[in-house]
Amino acid sequence: MAERLSLATIGSLPAGALRVDPNRLAIGIVHLGVGAFHRAHQAAIVDETIEMTGDERWGISAVTMRSEQVVEQLAPQDGLYSVTERGAGAGPIRVIGAIREVLSAPREPEAVVARLADPAVAVVTLTVTEKGYRRDGRTGGLDLSDPGTVADLGGAAPTTTIGLLVRGLDRRRTTGAGPISVVCCDNLPENGVVVRRLVADFVDALGAADLGEWIASNATFPSTMVDRITPATTADDLADVADGLGLEDRGAVLAEPFRQWVVEDDFAGARPDWERAGVQMVSDVLPWESAKLRLLNATHSLLAYTGLALGIGTIAEAVSVPALRRAAERLQRDEVVPTLIAPEGLDARVYGDTILERFRNPALGHTTRQVGSDGSQKLAPRLADTITGCLAAGRSPRASALAVAGWMLLVATGAPDLSDPLADRLSGVTTGLSTARDVAGALLGQRDVFPPALAVGEFPSLVAEAYDALALADTVVLAAYLDPEP
* Contacts with ligand CS2, residue ranges (CB under 6 A): 187, 227-229, 297, 300, 370-371, 378
CB of 386 to ligand CS2, least distance (A): 15
CB of 305 to ligand CS2, least distance (A): 11
Nearer to ligand CS2, 77 or 187 (CB): 187
CB of 315 to ligand CS2, least distance (A): 9
Nearer to ligand CS2, 67 or 370 (CB): 370
Nearer to ligand CS2, 100 or 378 (CB): 378
Distance CA(18)–CA(249), nearest Å, equals: 13
Nearer to ligand CS2, 249 or 256 (CB): 256
CB of 383 to ligand CS2, least distance (A): 12
132-145 burial by CB neighbour count: b if 16+ within 10 A, else e? Answer: bbbbbbeebebbee
**Is 348:342 a contact under the CB 8 Å cutoff?**
yes
Q: Which of 272, 271, 140 lies closest to 193, judged by CA?
A: 140
CB of 230 to ligand CS2, least distance (A): 7
Q: Which of 229, 162, 228, 146 lies closest to 197, judged by CA?
A: 162
Nearer to ligand CS2, 140 or 231 (CB): 231
Say which DSSP state 4 is in: B
Give the residue at shortest CB distance from ligand CS2: 300
CB of 455 to ligand CS2, least distance (A): 24
Nearer to ligand CS2, 289 or 335 (CB): 289
* Residue 110 Cα distances to 103, 304, 339, angstroms: 10, 39, 47
* Residue 135 Cα distances to 89, 132, 192, 342, 358, angstroms: 39, 8, 14, 27, 31
456 burial (CB, 10 Å; 0-12 / 13-18 / 19+) is: exposed
Nearer to ligand CS2, 214 or 407 (CB): 407
114 burial (CB, 10 Å; 0-12 / 13-18 / 19+) is: middle
CB of 298 to ligand CS2, least distance (A): 9
